[in-house]
Amino acid sequence: MKILILISFFNILLINDTPSSEKDYFLTLKYNRVKVRQGPSFEYPVKFIYKKKYLPIKIIDNKDNFRKITDLKNNNGWIHVSQLSKKKSAINIHNLSIIFKKPNIYSQPMAKLEKGKIVIVKKCKEDWCKIITNDYKGWIFKNYLWGNF
Protein backbone atom coordinates (compact mmCIF):
# COMPACT_ATOMS: atom_id res chain seq x y z
CA MET A 1 0.00 0.00 0.00
CA LYS A 2 2.83 2.41 0.90
CA ILE A 3 4.55 1.67 -2.40
CA LEU A 4 1.36 2.44 -4.32
CA ILE A 5 0.99 5.77 -2.51
CA LEU A 6 4.64 6.66 -3.20
CA ILE A 7 4.29 5.78 -6.89
CA SER A 8 1.13 7.91 -7.14
CA PHE A 9 2.87 10.81 -5.41
CA PHE A 10 5.87 10.70 -7.78
CA ASN A 11 3.58 10.46 -10.81
CA ILE A 12 1.80 13.63 -9.70
CA LEU A 13 5.16 15.38 -9.26
CA LEU A 14 6.28 14.30 -12.71
CA ILE A 15 3.05 15.44 -14.34
CA ASN A 16 3.21 18.86 -12.65
CA ASP A 17 6.90 19.20 -13.49
CA THR A 18 6.33 18.88 -17.24
CA PRO A 19 8.29 21.60 -19.05
CA SER A 20 6.06 24.43 -20.24
CA SER A 21 7.41 24.11 -23.79
CA GLU A 22 5.38 20.90 -24.22
CA LYS A 23 2.12 22.81 -23.85
CA ASP A 24 3.23 26.02 -25.58
CA TYR A 25 1.71 26.77 -28.97
CA PHE A 26 1.64 29.53 -31.56
CA LEU A 27 -1.05 31.96 -32.65
CA THR A 28 -0.87 35.16 -34.69
CA LEU A 29 -2.02 38.71 -34.12
CA LYS A 30 -5.42 39.34 -35.69
CA TYR A 31 -5.05 43.13 -36.08
CA ASN A 32 -2.46 45.77 -36.99
CA ARG A 33 -2.63 47.19 -33.46
CA VAL A 34 -2.69 44.86 -30.43
CA LYS A 35 -2.17 45.91 -26.81
CA VAL A 36 0.00 43.74 -24.58
CA ARG A 37 -0.79 44.11 -20.88
CA GLN A 38 1.26 43.51 -17.73
CA GLY A 39 -1.31 41.07 -16.36
CA PRO A 40 -4.31 38.95 -17.40
CA SER A 41 -7.13 41.53 -17.32
CA PHE A 42 -8.12 44.92 -18.71
CA GLU A 43 -7.34 46.36 -15.26
CA TYR A 44 -3.60 45.96 -15.88
CA PRO A 45 -1.71 48.73 -17.68
CA VAL A 46 -0.59 48.37 -21.28
CA LYS A 47 3.03 47.25 -21.40
CA PHE A 48 3.53 47.82 -25.14
CA ILE A 49 1.63 47.70 -28.43
CA TYR A 50 2.33 45.44 -31.39
CA LYS A 51 1.75 47.09 -34.75
CA LYS A 52 2.02 44.13 -37.11
CA LYS A 53 -0.88 41.96 -38.25
CA TYR A 54 -0.06 38.23 -38.54
CA LEU A 55 2.94 38.49 -36.20
CA PRO A 56 3.46 34.97 -34.81
CA ILE A 57 3.56 34.75 -31.03
CA LYS A 58 4.05 31.84 -28.66
CA ILE A 59 1.37 31.21 -26.03
CA ILE A 60 3.04 30.17 -22.77
CA ASP A 61 0.17 30.44 -20.27
CA ASN A 62 -3.50 31.35 -20.00
CA LYS A 63 -5.94 32.77 -17.50
CA ASP A 64 -9.61 33.26 -18.31
CA ASN A 65 -9.79 35.12 -21.66
CA PHE A 66 -6.16 36.24 -21.66
CA ARG A 67 -3.09 34.48 -23.02
CA LYS A 68 0.45 35.06 -21.79
CA ILE A 69 2.65 35.43 -24.83
CA THR A 70 6.27 35.72 -25.78
CA ASP A 71 7.70 36.75 -29.13
CA LEU A 72 10.87 35.99 -31.05
CA LYS A 73 12.78 38.63 -29.04
CA ASN A 74 11.46 37.30 -25.70
CA ASN A 75 9.13 40.25 -25.10
CA ASN A 76 6.20 39.00 -23.07
CA GLY A 77 2.87 40.01 -21.59
CA TRP A 78 -0.85 39.26 -21.75
CA ILE A 79 -3.21 39.59 -24.73
CA HIS A 80 -7.00 39.14 -24.82
CA VAL A 81 -8.11 36.18 -26.96
CA SER A 82 -10.18 38.43 -29.23
CA GLN A 83 -6.90 39.86 -30.57
CA LEU A 84 -5.49 36.47 -31.61
CA SER A 85 -5.91 34.32 -34.72
CA LYS A 86 -5.09 30.73 -35.70
CA LYS A 87 -3.86 31.90 -39.12
CA LYS A 88 -0.49 30.31 -39.79
CA SER A 89 2.43 32.69 -40.13
CA ALA A 90 6.14 32.74 -39.42
CA ILE A 91 9.17 35.02 -39.29
CA ASN A 92 12.25 34.35 -41.39
CA ILE A 93 15.13 33.94 -38.90
CA HIS A 94 17.85 33.25 -41.47
CA ASN A 95 19.96 36.09 -42.88
CA LEU A 96 18.94 35.62 -46.51
CA SER A 97 16.62 32.76 -47.34
CA ILE A 98 15.80 31.71 -50.87
CA ILE A 99 12.19 31.13 -51.88
CA PHE A 100 12.05 28.23 -54.36
CA LYS A 101 9.32 27.42 -56.87
CA LYS A 102 9.13 23.81 -55.63
CA PRO A 103 10.22 22.16 -52.35
CA ASN A 104 13.76 21.20 -53.38
CA ILE A 105 17.06 23.04 -53.78
CA TYR A 106 17.26 22.19 -57.49
CA SER A 107 14.03 24.07 -58.19
CA GLN A 108 13.95 27.55 -59.67
CA PRO A 109 14.86 30.25 -57.10
CA MET A 110 12.07 32.85 -56.99
CA ALA A 111 13.36 35.48 -54.56
CA LYS A 112 15.51 36.20 -51.53
CA LEU A 113 13.74 36.73 -48.23
CA GLU A 114 15.26 39.11 -45.70
CA LYS A 115 15.68 38.21 -42.04
CA GLY A 116 12.70 39.36 -39.96
CA LYS A 117 10.17 39.22 -42.79
CA ILE A 118 6.73 37.86 -41.82
CA VAL A 119 5.24 35.28 -44.19
CA ILE A 120 1.91 33.46 -44.36
CA VAL A 121 2.41 29.68 -44.17
CA LYS A 122 0.06 27.68 -46.41
CA LYS A 123 1.39 24.20 -45.61
CA CYS A 124 4.53 22.33 -44.60
CA LYS A 125 5.88 18.97 -45.65
CA GLU A 126 9.09 17.36 -44.47
CA ASP A 127 11.77 20.10 -44.37
CA TRP A 128 9.85 22.68 -46.42
CA CYS A 129 7.01 25.16 -45.98
CA LYS A 130 4.95 26.75 -48.74
CA ILE A 131 4.75 30.47 -47.99
CA ILE A 132 3.21 33.65 -49.34
CA THR A 133 4.75 37.10 -49.07
CA ASN A 134 3.39 40.36 -50.47
CA ASP A 135 5.19 39.65 -53.75
CA TYR A 136 5.94 35.91 -53.98
CA LYS A 137 4.62 32.40 -53.43
CA GLY A 138 7.01 29.52 -53.02
CA TRP A 139 8.84 27.12 -50.75
CA ILE A 140 11.40 27.80 -48.02
CA PHE A 141 13.35 25.61 -45.59
CA LYS A 142 11.29 25.04 -42.46
CA ASN A 143 14.41 25.53 -40.27
CA TYR A 144 14.57 29.16 -41.41
CA LEU A 145 11.18 29.98 -39.87
CA TRP A 146 9.94 30.77 -36.36
CA GLY A 147 6.23 30.69 -35.74
CA ASN A 148 2.87 29.09 -36.33
CA PHE A 149 3.10 26.34 -38.96
CB 27 within 8 A of CB 60: no
DSSP three-state, residue 88: coil
Q: What is the predicted pLDDT for the residue at 7? A: 40
**56 or 2: whose pLDDT is higher?**
56
Fold entry, domain 20-85: SH3 type barrels. (2.30.30)
How high is the pLDDT of residue 149? Answer: 83
Q: Which alpha helices (H) appear in the chain, and where do they start and end?
A: 2-16
Q: Where are the domains of the chain?
A: 20-85, 89-147
Cα–Cα distance, 40 to 62 (Å, whole number): 8
Summarised one tens digit per residue, pLDDT across range 78-119 is: 999 999 999 999 999 999 999 999 999 999 999 999 999 999
- Looking at residues 124-140, what average pLDDT do you find? 96
pTM: 0.80
> In the chain, what is the greatest distance between 2 CA atoms, to the nearest angstrom?
67
pLDDT tens digits for range 16-61? 343 445 689 999 999 999 999 999 999 999 999 999 999 999 999 9
CA distance 56 to 72: 8
CATH of domain 89-147: 2.30.30.40
Computed over every residue of the chain, the mean pLDDT equals 89
